[in-house]
Amino acid sequence: MFRFIARRLLETIPVLFIIVTATFFMVRFVPGGPFDSEKATTPEIRANLEAYYGLNLPLHQQYTNYLKAIVLHGDLGRSTKYASRTVNEIIADKLPASLQLGGLSLLIALVLGLTAGVIAAVKRNTKTDYAASSFAMIGICVPTFVLGPLLVLVFAIHLGWFSASGWYDWQDRILPSLTLGIVYAAGIARLTRGGMLEVLNLDYIRTARAKGASEARIILKHALRGGLLPVVSYLGPAIAGILTGSFVIETIFQIPGLGREFVNSAFNRDYTLVLGTVILYAVLIIALNLVVDVVQVWLNPKLKFE
Amino acid sequence: MISPSPDKLPSAGLTPAQLERGVSPWRDAWHRLRRNHLAVFGGVVLIALSLLCIAGPWFSPYGYEQTNLDNTFSPPSSAHWLGTDQLGRDLLTRLLFGGRISLMVGLVATFVALTIGVIYGAIAGFFGGKLDRAMMRIVDILYALPFTIFVILLMVFFGRNIVLLFVAIGAVEWLTMARIVRSQIMAIKRMEFIEAARSLGLGTPRIIFRHMIPNILGPIIVYTTLTIPGVMLLEAFLSFLGLGVQPPMSSWGVLIKDGAERMEEYPWLLIFPGTIFSLTLFSLNFLGDGLRDALDVRAAKD
Amino acid sequence: MIRPLFGLLALVTAFGLVTTGCSKKSGASSNNGEKILRVGNGAEPQDLDPQATAGVPEHKIQSTLFEGLVTDAADGQGIAPGVAESWEISPDGRTYTFRLRSDAKWSNGEPVTARDFVGSFERILNPSFAAEYASMLYPLKGAQDYNTGKLTDFSQVGVHALDDRNLQLSLTDPAPFLLEAIKHNAWFPVHLPTLAKFGGIHRKGTPWTRPGHLVGNGPFVLTEWRPNQRIVVRRSPTYWDRDNVKLDQIELHAIENQETEERMFRTGKLDYAYGLPLSKIEVYRREHPDVYRQEILLSTYFYRFNVTRPPFNDVRVRRALALAIDREAIVKNVTRAGQQPAYNITPPSARFAARTTLDAGLPDQPARIAEARRLLAEAGYPDGKNFPTAELLYNTSDGHRAIAEAIQQMWRVNLGINITIKNEEWKVFQDTCLTGNYQIARAGWGADYDDPHTFLSIWRTGDGNNQTGFSNTDYDRILGGALSTPNETARMEAYQQLEAILARETPIMPIYFYTRVYAISPRVKNWVPNPLDLRGWKWIDLAP
């Protein structure tokens, strides 16, 4: 297993290199630049700006400079949009809020999703199943940009229990975490139900049943194990997405997270910030997919580290 | 794509479960599906909705683009059954036209993602080793590339057209499907019936598509039903970038987004598109669950 | 198997608790007798450095922290003395001499001197500093040459400190609106020793703008800056007019989403919402007239025609399209915020209203449509027959989309022509407009200063903001002479001629003059209308 992990970590280097290189050149070929604004500046001022940020150098030189700064100093460069902050600073500033929001949402998603999914699978095609599955369907049918404002209307504006927006108190955390959590809970519940159903009829479950193991033990010890495979595959990228923030939720609830920077940096043509966020996301995705692969082997002993 | 014709399968060396599928598993599955009331309901609703979206607009006295600035935001009435929007256009007509786009995007783009994801994931999972590692690292890379930038570049180089929409959506949506299929394939590839098929000397494509994939249809179907709403809403975001539908045409995603911004004042603009969207998804899920149950080779024994 | 799962959950829970526990500060304003104003301020500021930014949200924050030679008047009209207590203008209008007040102080207690202004102007004009809005200072003699590197000796630029308290500005041409223009943040002074301490004078984005570092000379000082959340400023103990500053603290919240902002206002988290979502305008107007405000904003919404491409190289086609739309219906039923229909580019004001407009001699919509149909037929497209395919381009936004859809229908119904509409993401859109790769494109223009010049100068041949390909020698000549005219009457007359040329040639199709719609708590006092939406923060008060 350690060889497996070590090899994967080694593979990360070329993968990251390809991602950085591809992104670096992709953003440069997109029309529009960081200094286009409502009011066009003179060509001389634009030239001054480009010189200031080193954007007047040949592209390959900018590229090598960028790589050098990252490798030698861990420096992701300077944001062109937020002139007073470096990309490192922006990420350090905004990641914590996204991690908090993501962590709470993930908790909600896992608790609700797994519970609903397991119950639905065990009580398959009964009223309980339909109730649990329908609950999951709410999360699938109602997009975040509808659910968020709806929750705010009911719980913040009419009932006054929680805050409508902001990111200062614990009351501020409830509604956004719930909104994001419910959406992922829906996916988890559906996949858990599906995965469990695959397993519940397998021979080893039947054997366990025949041996007179208690139903709870069968479900928790045996069925969940195989049934969680699809959920775990889904969770890798989903957790990376959850932890790096959500544009919609952060906008609706006025949360200073990183999700908005992912989207806005592309719209602002803030090249360095695009790259910085992409690198962060890439690291998370790679790490989580590695964790997923390890967890899967451990869930299913028939798999091997290949 | 998943078209096993098991009547041609040699029966020797198969597991009992395989044998029990009998000579006409498709007919069996069809029978089981028909007995599942919810699945039948889902199927009927989907067909009815599709027909309505295709044929409905012919019977509407209004065009989807026809504005009436003296009758904006009118609530449902006998003249406009579902009310009118910001420019006084008939919401029902726009909803039906939008349904054509959304259903097509939802089904076609999901099919693209499904096809790529299943084949890719199955190949990686089946062969394992270096090939699997290379293929999964490519998936990691594609996960990380910035989607917004990718879509804008697509438009710059290829202009805007509907095929591009499917490419853009298909390009991101297959990744998780591939990872799910891969892990499932890896989980079953050491099971006895696969070993048996191998020992019979069956070709790899045959083993994958006729023996393995039918056994992992459950997660595939579930994830597919999760992908469809995602795809339909993604289309609204792509419209923002200028790729999706071009106004004055609309889609369910765009109508829901517009309605969400006015939910307090003009609730019908959210309720009706939201209802038809949810109805579609519920039906798809019922049908999906029914299909899963009907095609479940093991549950068939019960 | 289940154990590790719970382990994971426990980990996540702990994580959630720990991180939640970290920030205990409350978002609500405490009200222990202090006057704390909480306002929505649009986008997150790019920086607080007044010479490095060009945006409106930044300007609002900077005008709490810094003060220029003159500042906004209490009544919202014109100017009030700022750091300069008085000034003299030479008879030829080319030399301005400002007398600085002796008690003007930086927030670290040092006096604000004429040399501070000279050094600050050198900074923004220095090409290596690469200021986006350096062009604001181009009226100064030699400023443009210095900024573009043609002149390297700054002493030849028209700004001189005669002594500590006397500052002289020399202009290339008379700029009758100079006193209005120098309210802009590009003209604010900065404290050069502080800049030098935090990484250099000619560098952007050094930490000098952080709380605790920033030294300003405005009525407030910076105490908190949480990116994408809020900026907090408190009354300055060193400001010369501190006795007249009414508020103890201002919280400027960075909120881009109007729906979110409105909900914050409704739940009492804001005293002022910068803008109201379209769907809420009606509701507020009807049910909350006490907080609803609607004001004129010096901005125009229009479409550009690409006059170099057929069929829009034919002025008859341009005029036909421009006349065939019902602006009254658009402002009444689509934009709905009390905008005024526009038939020319410069919004009407007390000093100027265009005489000759697009609809001259066509008093009502039927007459305009008849004329439009006649022009289109004359151009060879009777009833829209054989009209080539054409495309209307706009940048993605629900508002622009609705207007484009309505106009598309009007053209179809009134002229029988079918024009497709297409949206592009903002930066792609700008690129398309700059390269002239469009046929009709949506546009808007807001005033930089209160003078028609700001609307009319962009139609000069080859101007970066012209983008239509419109080029008219008469226009360029009259515009070139407008600022050298002997008096205001003559200048306004020149503007009238320019408007007449635009009305005749129709390189653009004006649609409406903007309004600004916002919500403000009745507790906020002295919040006066201003056509550029500028605020003299020190005048604003908050009733208990």
Question: Which CATH number covers residue C241?
Answer: 3.40.190.10
Q: Is C187 on the interface with A (CB under 8 A)?
A: no
Which chain C residues have a beta carbon less than 8 Å from that of A99? 15, 19
User: Cβ B246–C409 below 8 Å, yes or no?
Assistant: no
Statement to judge: residues C108 and C170 lie in one domain? yes
The pLDDT confidence band at residue B38, using thresholds 50, 70 and 90, is confident
Alpha carbon distance C520, A163 (integer Å): 20
Q: For A80, name the nearest residue in chain C, comparing CA atoms only.
A: C46
Average of per-residue pLDDT across B185-195: 83
For residue C33, the surrounding DSSP H or E stretch is none
Residue B12 has pLDDT above 60, yes or no: no
CA dihedral A102, A108, A111, A115 (to 10 degrees): -130
Domain membership of residue C79 (yes or no) is: yes
Average of per-residue pLDDT across B75-85: 93
The pLDDT confidence band at residue C1, using thresholds 50, 70 and 90, is very low
Which chain C residues have a beta carbon less than 8 Å from that of A45? 130-132, 134-135, 147
Statement to judge: residues C189 and C303 lie in one domain? no
User: Cβ C432–A31 below 8 Å, yes or no?
Assistant: yes
Which chain C residues have a beta carbon less than 8 Å from that of A43? 464
Tell me the average pLDDT of chain C: 91
Statement to judge: residues C389 and C506 lie in one domain? yes
Phi and psi at A126, nearest 5°, equal -115, 180
Statement to judge: residues C491 and C350 lie in one domain? yes
Domain membership of residue C63 (yes or no) is: yes
CATH code at position C362 = 3.10.105.10
User: Cβ A30–B144 below 8 Å, yes or no?
Assistant: no
Instruction: Report the pLDDT value the prediction gives residue C44, as an integer from 0 to 100.
Output: 93
Domain membership of residue C61 (yes or no) is: yes
Structure tokens at A33: 């630049």
Phi and psi at C448, nearest 5°, equal -90, -25
Structure tokens at A76: 């992701």
Domain membership of residue C272 (yes or no) is: no
Q: Is A187 on the interface with B (CB under 8 A)?
A: yes
The CA distances from residue A126 to A123, A129, A216, C15, C512, in Å, are 6, 5, 18, 37, 61
How many other C-beta atoms lie within 10 A of the C-beta of residue A169?
A: 17
Alpha carbon distance B252, B273 (integer Å): 6
Q: Is B261 on the interface with C (CB under 8 A)?
A: yes
Task: Please give the interface size between A and B, counted as residue pairs whose CB atoms are below 8 Å apart.
Answer: 168
Q: Provide the residue type at C258 as one letter.
A: Q
Mutation choice for A interface testing from B143, B156, B215, B279 by most A CBs within 10 A = B143
For residue range A271-287, what is the model confidence (pLDDT) as tens digits?
999 999 999 999 999 99
Q: What pairs with residue C161 in β-bridges?
A: C167
The pLDDT confidence band at residue C3, using thresholds 50, 70 and 90, is very low
Instruction: Report the pLDDT value the prediction gives residue A135, as an integer from 0 to 100.
Output: 85
Instruction: Report the pLDDT value the prediction gives residue B16, as an integer from 0 to 100.
Output: 44
Statement to judge: residues C305 and C187 lie in one domain? no
Domain membership of residue C267 (yes or no) is: no
Which chain C residues have a beta carbon less than 8 Å from that of A38? 444, 446
Statement to judge: residues C66 and C192 lie in one domain? yes
The CA distances from residue C197 to C51, C62, C200, in Å, are 17, 20, 7
Q: For B151, name the nearest residue in chain C, comparing CA atoms only.
A: C425
Q: Is C541 on the interface with A (CB under 8 A)?
A: no
The last residue of one of the domains, among C227, C253, C279, is: C253
Q: Are A288 and A237 in contact (CB under 8 A)?
A: yes
**DSSP sequence for A208-236:** HHHTT--HHHIIIIIIHHHHTHHHHHHHH
Q: For B233, name the nearest residue in chain A, comparing CA atoms only.
A: A143
Instruction: Report the pLDDT value the prediction gives residue C151, as an integer from 0 to 100.
Output: 95
Q: 3-state DSSP call for residue C230?
A: strand
Instruction: Report the pLDDT value the prediction gives residue A24, as an integer from 0 to 100.
Output: 96
Alpha carbon distance C120, C139 (integer Å): 16
Statement to judge: residues C222 and C331 lie in one domain? no
Q: Are B212 and B185 in contact (CB under 8 A)?
A: yes
Domain membership of residue C241 (yes or no) is: yes
Phi and psi at A121, nearest 5°, equal -70, -45
The ranges of chain A with pLDDT < 50 are none
Q: 3-state DSSP call for residue B149?
A: helix
Q: What residues contact residue C493 under an 8 Å CB cut-off, 6+ apart?
A: C485
Q: 3-state DSSP call for residue C417?
A: coil
Residue B302 has pLDDT above 50, yes or no: no
Residue C124 has pLDDT above 90, yes or no: yes
For residue range C429-483, what is the model confidence (pLDDT) as tens digits?
999 999 999 999 999 999 988 889 999 999 999 999 999 999 999 999 999 999 8
Structure tokens at B147: 């989607």
Centroid of chain to Cα B193: 30
How many other C-beta atoms lie within 10 A of the C-beta of residue A245?
A: 26
Statement to judge: residues C86 and C176 lie in one domain? yes
User: Cβ A36–C229 below 8 Å, yes or no?
Assistant: no
Q: For B245, name the nearest residue in chain C, comparing CA atoms only.
A: C422
Q: Is C401 on the interface with B (CB under 8 A)?
A: yes
Q: What is the number of structural domains in chain C?
A: 2
Q: What pairs with residue C442 in β-bridges?
A: C303
Instruction: Report the pLDDT value the prediction gives residue A306, as an integer from 0 to 100.
Output: 57
Which chain B residues have a beta carbon less than 8 Å from that of C333? 69-70, 72, 87-88
Statement to judge: residues C473 and C357 lie in one domain? yes
| Pick from C438, C482, C440: nearest CA to C460 | C482
Q: Where is average pLDDT lowest: C279-283, C376-380, C538-542?
A: C279-283
Q: How distant is the Cα of B253 from the closest Cα of chain C, in angstroms?
A: 14
Instruction: Report the pLDDT value the prediction gives residue C17, as an integer from 0 to 100.
Output: 34
| Pick from A194, A218, A196: nearest CA to A205 | A218
Q: How distant is the Cα of B61 from the closest Cα of chain A, in angstroms?
A: 30
Chain A residues 266-305 with CB within 8 Å of chain B: 266-267, 274, 277-278, 281-282, 285-286, 289, 292, 296, 300, 302-303
Considering only CB atoms, C16 lies closest to which of A85, A107, A164, namely A107
Considering only CB atoms, B187 lies closest to which of A125, A274, A300, namely A300
3-state secondary structure B81-116: CCCECCCCCEHHHHHHHHHHHHHHHHHHHHHHHHHH
* Residues of chain A above pLDDT 90, percent: 59
Domain membership of residue C433 (yes or no) is: yes
Considering only CB atoms, B258 lies closest to which of C282, C398, C428, namely C398
Structure tokens at C464: 């970066």
- Measured over the CA atoms of residue A39, residue A40, residue A41 and residue A46, the dihedral's sign is positive
Instruction: Report the pLDDT value the prediction gives residue B194, as an integer from 0 to 100.
Output: 82
Instruction: Report the pLDDT value the prediction gives residue B298, as an integer from 0 to 100.
Output: 57
Alpha carbon distance C463, A43 (integer Å): 11
Considering only CB atoms, A44 lies closest to which of C148, C205, C227, namely C148
Task: Please give the interface size between A and C, counted as residue pairs whose CB atoms are below 8 Å apart.
Answer: 187
Instruction: Report the pLDDT value the prediction gives residue B25, as an integer from 0 to 100.
Output: 64
Structure tokens at C220: 């407030």
Tell me the average pLDDT of chain B: 85
- Measured over the CA atoms of residue C61, residue C66, residue C72 and residue C73, the dihedral's sign is positive
User: Cβ A142–B260 below 8 Å, yes or no?
Assistant: no
Helix axes C315-323, C488-505, angle to 10 degrees: 100
Query: Which structural domain, as residue segments, surrounds residue C48?
Result: 44-253
Q: Is C408 on the interface with A (CB under 8 A)?
A: no
For residue range C469-512, what is the model confidence (pLDDT) as tens digits?
999 999 999 999 998 887 889 999 999 999 999 999 999 999 99
Statement to judge: residues C51 and C171 lie in one domain? yes
Instruction: Report the pLDDT value the prediction gives residue C28, as an integer from 0 to 100.
Output: 42
Q: Is A264 on the interface with B (CB under 8 A)?
A: no
Chain C residues 193-252 with CB within 8 Å of chain A: 204-207, 209-210, 226-229
Domain membership of residue C246 (yes or no) is: yes
Q: Where is average pLDDT lowest: B185-189, C121-125, C198-202, C301-305?
A: B185-189
Which chain C residues have a beta carbon less than 8 Å from that of A221? 1-2
Chain C residues 474-493 with CB within 8 Å of chain B: none
Statement to judge: residues C245 and C302 lie in one domain? no
Q: Is A232 on the interface with B (CB under 8 A)?
A: yes
Statement to judge: residues C176 and C243 lie in one domain? yes
Mutation choice for A interface testing from B35, B118, B120, B186 by most A CBs within 10 A = B186
